[in-house]
Structure 1
Amino acid sequence: MRDHYDFSDSVKNPYAKKLKKQVTIRLDEDTIVYFKELAEDKGIPYQSLINLYLRDCAQSHRDLKMQWQ
């Protein structure tokens, strides 16, 4: 290894805004089954499908309407 590295010509990672962060969430079993089946039909991992769905909700500023019964 070198004693000194020159980073003066370095550039920022253009994908840094798209980096993913690992989190733990609790989902109902039937929700997981739904997304796993849908993901199998689409040919992508179910975690990616859930991420795409949540990203779409966030980008379109979808608001949840909750009514207690």
Structure 2
Amino acid sequence: MKKWNDIFDTKTNVNGKLITVVQQDFSDSTILIKEDGNIISCPMGMNEQGDIYFIYDNEEVYLKWI
């Protein structure tokens, strides 16, 4: 079971869906998000400039824009 940190509550709009990004897990290269009350583990990556993103709804979502 994934553990959610309730300190994070800022919602971000991605493709018309409101999600909450909570934490990065560098041990398995994922980022936890919450969508409609469900906790989802999204794959995380880094581009050549060092910007971190995660894949959600078939789109790269960059943390620097959240």
**TM-score relative to the length of structure 2:** 0.26
- Higher relative contact order structure (alpha carbons within 8 Å, sequence separation ≥ 6): 2
Please say which structure displays the higher CA radius of gyration.
Answer: 1
Please identify which structure carries the higher strand content: 2
**TM-score relative to the length of structure 1:** 0.26
